[in-house]
Every structure is written in structure tokens, then in C-alpha cells.
Chain A
Amino acid sequence: MTSVTSSMAQAQPKIDFSRLFTDAILATLVALGLFGLLIGVKTDQSLNNQMILVLRPGLLALILAAVFVGRLTIGYIIAVRDARPPEAKKAKAAKSNTALWVEKYGLPVFVGFLFAYPLMVLYTAGPQGAIKWIDNFGIQILIYIMLGWGLNIVVGLAGLLDLGYVAFYAVGAYSYALLATSEPVKLFMAAHMGSTFWPLWAFWICLPIAGILAAFWGVILGFPVLRLRGDYLAIVTLAFGEIIRLVLINWVEFSNGYAGISSIPRPSFFGVPFNASDTGFAARFGLEFTPIYRTIFLFYLILILALITAFVSARLRRLPVGRAWEALREDEIACRSLGINTVNTKLTAFAIGAMFGGFAGAFFAARQGFISPESFVFLESAQILAIVVLGGMGSLMGVVIASILLVGGVELLRELDALKVIFGPNFDPAQYRMLIFGLCMVLMMLWKPRGLISVREPSVFLKEKKSVSSDHVKEGHG
């Protein structure tokens, strides 16, 4: 007890306040330089289309004040932390256990929650309000979870930094959209299987095709970049992603360009359409027709697709190919000298990762009913990569947490009407979402460069399984 009190007495921090103030003033001066012109002056269009400058001294002063106070607070917190005795820092060790626990038991709990989620929302918000919560939050987040788990195979397991993952998402989406709306296919199916067959079954037939085509593209794009590593690999995959998008924009005869593809058939309940007709889902099951059934069905569909992705990647990790991936991530040269075929290992990672991207793309096209190249910009790739990296590379639960925080948080921002009361009626929180997103990426890297859940569980072990915090694992060359 006495030792505790004595350490408490020592903990009284000696803080150099004059230094804190100097720091804060310097930070404010830098902020004045940074923001003085870009926030203090706004370029605008006048009524007769002339460019004019509008001064905003009030806003600038507000931001400078915020920087001053913020720097002061951060400086104070850091000073207090540094003054703390070393024993207090030991409490940190418990942290990696929490992460391990989350990784181990989090997934079943989360999946259980997800299966109950639509019903819970339905009871609390009613059929009208529930669509928004299931669609904007549930389905939207699950798509990103699935994409994150797919990319996790490439980035997290095989250590290949892919900045063009959205290309495979696009391949999947366009495969489904083009096949389902193509006239020759429609006529062929109508001639052989009857006129109602294709609109009802298009999704279920095209889903595997979309996955296969995406995997095929994964191999095609993976092949030339086999020798590249690290940053160079990232930039080349980015270039490939952009090339595919630019081709989709410019090859109008093929993809209809910027206008995109519309009236893509929606998925049916294994042949039963979701409409108000007598043969529709509601009538068939003796329910009253509302659009909510389709939304709930789509929710469970993407949930199951995502779970398949998670299951397959978790099982693959324990197979020889998965172990080869992880070996490749840790050290490529050692891997090659041990006789692992790095060409095949890398190509399988690209192909399988791309395949799940393709599935997600086909689902996306079916859910939207409309796609255009605008949905497949580089920002999407960055967002998916951010989810994988922020969650902790290789961790399934990390992807879930990061998706909920990033995608859900951004969606939640739209809902915050309270902010309008504070900042005035013209305040639109949605325009700040990418700003906040970029900021989060930087802050997360500064705070936890290894991601939220950075535990590596060995898939092979002698006698006893020991989990290693990835902070202790030596970095290889991806």
C-alpha cells in the first residue's frame, strides 16, 4: 500500500508550462500559414459568373483557436504521460490478451448478432424505418466486410499490397450486369428455358461466373507483377485498377460508358421474385407485400457470402497454400530457398482474393440495379485497403471492427441532424465524410501502425500454441 502511495506522490508531474505555450503558439503560427489563404479566403462565383474572393476571418480565427487549444491539450497529456513512473506503463501488457480474445471469440458472437439484426431492427423501427437501417448500415457494412476479407487474403495473408482491388469488384459487377441484360443471352434462354427463366435465375447463374471471371482477371493482372514488391507493387496495381476503370468509361459500345448499365435484374428468392404479383414472394408465403422482404433477403445473402469468404480464408490458412502465403509475407527470399513455388503461391492469392471481390461485385450490381464506372474509383480501393490495414492485417475480426467504424461511422454522420442545430441549417455533414476518413487513416497509422488486432496465431505449432503479438515479428518483404 505504501509503495502505491509513494508512486502516486512521484506521479505529480512537473510540467514546463512555458514550453507548452511556446509549442502551442508555434503550432498556431504554422496553422496560420497553412490555412490563412485556403480557409481565410474562399474563391467563389459571383452572380454574373465572375470569380470573386470572399474573406472568412471568423472561421479562420475559430480554427486557429482550435489548433491552439488542441496543441496545448495534446502537449499537456504527453507531458503528464511522460512524467508517470515506469510501473504504470506495465498495464499495457494486458492489451494484447484482449485483442487475442476478440479475435478468438468475437466472430461467433458477432455472427449471432448479425443473424438476429434484421429482426431486431424490424421490431424496434417498424417495417418503414427498418429498410434504412438494414440497407444503409447492414448491407453496406457487410459488403465492405466481405471485400475486406477478400483483400485480406492478398494483403493480410500473402503480404502483397494491392491498391487496385476495386478492379475485381468492377469485373464482378460488370460480368453480372452485362450477362443479365444482354439481349442474345435473354433470347437464347427464352427459347430454351421459357421466358420467365432468365430474369428469375440470372443472378444465381451469373454469380459463379462473375467470381470465375474476376479470378481469371486476378491471374492476368497478377502475372506481370510477380517480381514486384512493396510500394512498386502497390503503384502498379493502382495503375491496373485505373486502366480497367478508364476502359469501362471509354469503351462505350461495351459498357455504355459513364451512363452505366441500368435495370439489372434483382436477385430472386431461388426463383420466386420479390414483387406484388400472385407468384411473388409475399403472396407465395401468405404475407402482406412490402419491399422490406427483399432488403432482408439481400441482407442474409451478403451475410452468407461474407461468411463463406471468412470460412474459406480461415480454412485455407491452415492448408499448405495458406502456410506458403504466410511464409511469403514474412520473407520471400527464405521462402524461395525452401523450395516454395512463389509464382503459384502469389497467383493463387491474387486469384482467390479477386474471386471474392467478383462475388461481392455481382452482389453489388444486383442490389443497386444500376452500375457505372463512378462506383469503382481509386478511393474505393483505398477504403478497402484501409479497412484491412486498420483492422490488423490477417485478422478476420479486425476487418469487421474497421468496417463498422469506417463505413458505419461515415453513414452515421449523415444521420446526425443534431450537428445542423449547432452549425446552422446549411451544414451538410456528408461532405466531410471523406475528410474525416482520410484523417482517421493517418491517425490510426500514427496510433497503431499494426492495426487494431495485431495478433498472429500460428497455424502450425510444436506441443503448445503460442500467439505472438505481431510487434515482435520481424518484417519481411512483400
Chain B
Amino acid sequence: MHKAGTRQGFGDSAKLALREGREGMDVFVQQVINGLSLGAVYGLIAIGYTMVFGIIGMVNFAHGDVFMISAFVALIVFMAVTALAGLSGGVVFLALVAALLVSMFVTSLYNWTIERVAYRKLRGSFRLAPLISAIGMSILLMNFVQVAQGPRNKPIPPVMRDVIVLFEKDGFAVAISYKQILIMVTTAVLLGIFWYIVQKTPLGRAQRACEQDQKMAALLGINVDRTISITFIMGAALAAVAGTLFLNYYGVVVFSDGFVPGVKAFTAAVLGGIGSLPGAVLGGLLIGLIETLWSGYFSIDYKDVASFSILAIVLIFMPQGLLGKPEVEKV
């Protein structure tokens, strides 16, 4: 489903160093930096999974594809702005901001529509129905983009190529790029904002109330449908941020890019403890680290196997995750 080997952007230099037989602190630090920035993207997607699972208890299987759609929207907006105004420094920044905002809007609209059309009627229906509907939606979105935009890889011109060299040892420079800083800072800020919304605002209170008991929440005057819609919109907005950062980082997107990052982000959500926002980001960072270190020190071919194995191991041995509450089985 994804092209193995075409995408090794994260930590290329570190891998090269490893191939030359270098193993040391410097390479390790570089791997950690790369892993954290990859993990931050997973964490942003994972928040969408964790919020939706928390509130209606379903795996929104189409969330990975919503993320892919956001990257495509960002790509189109970025291309349109730079085509009109050229590729100078200021314009690139403006184009990225425009891409982010438009992508957030369109992606939210997508997730809102998906919930409204494909999930709302199935709420409270037979248990597997929403999951099957979500799988169908995932296939639909992926193939819609393939038909509408073509099956090829879609690159953008390379932007934001500058790096900051942290330290240099024996000719191997440990560096952090502006893109990576952007990813980490954005993730930290957004996690703070969303954590505040969920914990401190009336909206967040309504969301947590729906999470505990929808019927009771409705009796107490909370508009459950609207709260769930807003949850989907919030998840999509974060997926759009992740999609734009992903596009900016890799510089290329393809229609099948939703599936594997989607499963990995879900792994992150489960690892961090489903329903917990900081848990989702923590899980994302761990998955990113494990994936990068695994491909650096063991084998890049098996990096997805490593992530999928973690998913299975966590679900089997630690289903409540790192920061989640243990689930009590009721009759």
C-alpha cells in the first residue's frame, strides 16, 4: 500500500553515518531528533483518534485518510499561492500559512461531513456497523483522491532547507532543521491549547460529560450531536496541521499516504492510553523514536513491522496504555 524505500527522509545523514560504521553519541542524538519530529506528527494525528474514541468509542478508521486529504489540500493551496507570487522567502512563508488555514478548514469540513453522513445514523446501532462504515469511508476517500488527483507522487519544490548545527564531531554534524523545530513547537503549542480546551472550557466539559454518559449529558441540556461534531472537527483540524507539516517535511504526498501513518497514529493513541491527549502525543513521540532508532540500528525494511508489533504487544499486555484509565468490564 505504501512505497517502501521511496521515503527515507528522516535521518538520512545519520543512516549514512551508520553505514560507514560510525556508532556513537552524535549519531544517536541525530536519530533522537529525527524520531521526535516524526513522532510529533504521529502525535497530532493520534489526538484525533483518541478524542473520537473517547467520546463515541469507535475507531475512526478513515482518520488516516482525512490526514492524507489535508496534505493534498495544503499541496494545492501551496502550489496555487507560489504559482501566483513566486518562490521567494516571504511568499513561501505566506503560502505555508495559507495552506495550513485552508487545509484546516477543508479537512474539518470533511470530517464533519463524514461523521454526519456515515457515522451519526449508526450511533447506537449494532457494534460493528460504525467500524465497517469507517473502513468503507477510508477506501472511498483514498480512491477518491486517486481518481481526482492521479496515482502519482506529488512533490512540492523544496522549501525551508536551513538547518542549525548543534555540534560537530569528527566531521559529522548533528543538526536540527527549521522544519523539525517548526513541527515540535507546533505540536507542543497545540497540545497545550487543546488540553486547555478539554480541561477548562465549557465545551471541554461537555465533551467529557458525553464521554462518560451520553444519555445523562443530553438530559442535563448538553447538545450531544453538536458536541460530537465539534470533536470530529477538532480532530480534523489537528490532522490538517499534521498533514501540512508532513507535506512541508517530506515535500511529497501520494494518495495512499493515509493508511500506514493512520495505523501508526492509532498505535500511538493506544500506547499513550486512549482518551488521553498528552498520552496521544507521548505515544506518538515513542512510536516515532522506536521507528527511527529501529531503522537506524536494525533494519529499515522492517520498521513498519516494528510499529505493528508494538501495536499488538501494547493492546495485548497493556490495553489501558501509559496514561489511560483501566477499563472495567461490566456485565
CB of B59 within 8 A of CB of A235, answer: yes
A122 at the interface (CB under 8 A from B): no
- A45-B152, A235-B59, A249-B4 given; A37·B316 CB < 8 A: no
Annotate B121-139 by CB proximity to A: 1 below 8 A, 0 otherwise: 1100111111111011111
CB of A239 within 8 A of CB of B139, answer: no
CB of A245, distance to nearest CB on chain B (Å): 9
CB of B147 within 8 A of CB of A432, answer: yes
A86 at the interface (CB under 8 A from B): no
A141 to B128, CA, bound (A): 25
Smallest CB gap from A228: residue in B? B315
CB of B311, distance to nearest CB on chain A (Å): 5
* Neighbour of B125 across the interface among A227, A379, A432, A449, CB < 8 A: A449
Smallest CB gap from A432: residue in B? B147
Contacts of B136 in A (CB 8 A): 386, 437-442, 444-445
B83 at the interface (CB under 8 A from A): yes
A44 at the interface (CB under 8 A from B): yes
A83 to B241, CA, bound (A): 45
CB of A382 within 8 A of CB of B150, answer: no
* Neighbour of A41 across the interface among B76, B266, B299, B304, CB < 8 A: B76
A284 at the interface (CB under 8 A from B): no
- A234-B131, A449-B126 given; A239·B263 CB < 8 A: yes
* Neighbour of A441 across the interface among B75, B105, B117, B139, CB < 8 A: B139
A17 to B311, CA, bound (A): 52
* Neighbour of B133 across the interface among A36, A334, A441, CB < 8 A: A441
Q: Which of B121, B259, B266, B311 has the most CB of A within 10 A?
A: B311
A333 at the interface (CB under 8 A from B): yes
Smallest CB gap from A240: residue in B? B312
CB of B73 within 8 A of CB of A38, answer: yes
Smallest CB gap from B314: residue in A? A236
CB of A442 within 8 A of CB of B140, answer: yes
CB of B259 within 8 A of CB of A378, answer: yes
A33 at the interface (CB under 8 A from B): yes
- A53-B83, A235-B59, A235-B315 given; A243·B308 CB < 8 A: yes
Contacts of A232 in B (CB 8 A): 270, 315, 319
A121 at the interface (CB under 8 A from B): no
Smallest CB gap from B58: residue in A? A231
Contacts of A238 in B (CB 8 A): 263
- A224-B316, A239-B311, A438-B138 given; A446·B132 CB < 8 A: no
Contacts of B147 in A (CB 8 A): 431-432, 435
Contacts of A236 in B (CB 8 A): 311-312, 315-316
Secondary structure call for the B interface: helix
Contacts of A187 in B (CB 8 A): none
Contacts of A378 in B (CB 8 A): 1, 259
Smallest CB gap from B125: residue in A? A449
A30 at the interface (CB under 8 A from B): yes
Contacts of B316 in A (CB 8 A): 224-225, 227-228, 236
CB of B106 within 8 A of CB of A37, answer: yes
CB of B2, distance to nearest CB on chain A (Å): 10
* Neighbour of A445 across the interface among B75, B76, B122, B270, CB < 8 A: B122
CB of B128 within 8 A of CB of A235, answer: no
- A38-B69, A39-B148, A247-B305 given; A231·B59 CB < 8 A: yes
CB of B171, distance to nearest CB on chain A (Å): 32
CB of A232, distance to nearest CB on chain B (Å): 5
Annotate A416-452 by CB proximity to B: 1 below 8 A, 0 otherwise: 0000000000000001101101111110111001100
CB of A43 within 8 A of CB of B59, answer: no
B223 at the interface (CB under 8 A from A): no
* Neighbour of A34 across the interface among B113, B127, B129, CB < 8 A: B113
A389 at the interface (CB under 8 A from B): yes
CB of B133 within 8 A of CB of A445, answer: yes
Contacts of A227 in B (CB 8 A): 316
CB of B139 within 8 A of CB of A250, answer: no
A4 at the interface (CB under 8 A from B): no
Q: Which of B4, B83, B127, B147 has the most CB of A within 10 A?
A: B127
B242 at the interface (CB under 8 A from A): no
B67 at the interface (CB under 8 A from A): no
Annotate A187-226 by CB proximity to B: 1 below 8 A, 0 otherwise: 0000000000000000000000000000000000000110
A34 to B141, CA, bound (A): 11
A441 to B137, CA, bound (A): 8
CB of A338, distance to nearest CB on chain B (Å): 13
CB of A246 within 8 A of CB of B302, answer: yes
Extra A-B contacts (14), CB below 8 Å, given A431-B146, A437-B136: A37-B106, A38-B72, A38-B76, A39-B148, A43-B79, A51-B156, A224-B312, A235-B266, A242-B304, A379-B1, A438-B137, A438-B141, A439-B136, A444-B136
A selection of 14 A-B contacts at a CB cut-off of 8 Å is: A52-B83, A161-B131, A225-B312, A231-B58, A246-B305, A250-B301, A377-B1, A386-B132, A386-B135, A432-B143, A441-B133, A441-B136, A449-B126, A449-B129
B residues near A, CB below 8 A? 1, 4, 58-59, 69, 72-73, 75-77, 79-80, 83, 102, 105-106, 109-110, 113, 117-118, 121-122, 125-133, 135-150, 152, 154-157, 259, 263, 266, 270, 299, 301-302, 304-305, 308-309, 311-312, 315-316, 319, 329, 331
| 9 cross-chain pairs, A with B, having the tightest CB-CB distances, nearest first | A441-B136, A438-B140, A438-B139, A449-B129, A435-B143, A239-B308, A445-B133, A250-B301, A442-B136
